Structures are given as structure tokens and as C-alpha cells.
Amino acid sequence: MKKKTPIKGKRIVLIAVVILLALSLLTGGFIGVYASLKDTAGTVTESLNLADVTCEVNEDYSVTNTSNIPALIRVRVVVNQTEGDEIVPGDIPSYTDGSDWTRIGDYLYYNGILAEKGSSGNTQTSPAISIEPNGAQIVVLAEAIQAASTASKEEWGVSFSNGSWS
């Protein structure tokens, strides 16, 4: 049998150590470059600004678009009569289409797109409604929806196009 010399064994161990050291340097270098690239890439921040569609009824029964976008407006007028201490439903007011408002069903639709913070014409003097307030409580309920695309058709069942409702 041939006897192995200790020098060949040391050489094999030395070659293995060199190979492992080279692999670790390559891996460490790759990780270092990756970490450096990742660190210098920065942070990407995406933001989504949602529309806030709201409106407000003023004392003169006009409506202000308090939204941060243009909006379509509709109102429903509810009249309650007072009988003693009780409030009972009153007669539904008669509507007359005016230049500013169009009646469809129980609602009055503003014939225009209200700009951000814009106000409509007065629903009583447009002339859109005629109410005899003898002991009546008049409540104007207003709704706003974004003036984009088909939102009014989808939510209210009516479309606004070229200044008119259908």
C-alpha cells in the first residue's frame, strides 16, 4: 500500500480553504453591491387623493358645493305642518320648472355643474317651488355627486348632459 504524504493533504485543505474564501468574497461582494443599490434606490411614495363630495343648504334655500371637485346637485323639499305640539307631513309643494332647476319625480335637479365652492340659484326664487309657509316647516334636503362621467345615472337614475337632465 502506498502511504499518503502529509504535504498532499495539506495542499487539498489549502485549496478547499481558498475556494471557500473566494466563494465567500464573491457572495459578500454581491450582497454588498445589492445592499448599496437598494439603499440608493430611495423610497417611492404613491398618494391617492379621494374626492370629498358634499353640499350645504343656505338660509335662502340655495345650495353651495362644499366639495373639492365640481358636482351635480339635487334637492328634495319636505314640508311639515305643525298641529299643536305635533309635526305632521304637509302638502308636497308644487314645483314649477325654472331656468335653474328641473323637476324629475320628487327631486329638483340643478341645471348646471357647480364648481368647487360654487352656489346654485335660490330654489324658491328660481322660480322652482312655490310654498305657502303658513305654520309649515320647510326642510330642503340636498345631495351632491361628482360631475364626472356617468355618476348621476348610476346613483340617481338620471343623466346630465349639455345643461339638461333626462
In the chain, where are the structural domains located? 1-45, 55-148+161-165
End-to-end CA distance of the chain: 106
Banded model confidence at residue 140, pLDDT cuts 50, 70, 90: confident
Q: What is the pLDDT of residues 30-66, one digit of tens each?
A: 666 566 655 555 677 777 777 788 898 887 778 899 9
Query: Is the predicted pLDDT of residue 69 greater than 80, yes or no?
Result: yes
Q: Where are the beta strands (DSSP E) in 51-135?
A: 55-57, 63-65, 71-83, 86-89, 94-95, 101-104, 107-110, 129-130
Q: What is the pLDDT of residues 71-127, one digit of tens each?
A: 999 988 777 776 666 666 666 566 555 678 888 888 888 888 999 888 887 655 444
Selected residue with higher pLDDT from 129 and 28: 28
pLDDT of 70? 92
pTM of the model: 0.61
Q: Is 163 left (phi over 0), alpha (psi -120 to 50) or beta?
A: left
Mean pLDDT for the stretch of residues 15-36: 68
Are 72 and 113 in contact, with CB atoms under 8 Å apart?
Answer: yes
* Cα angle 14, 16, 19; round to 5: 110
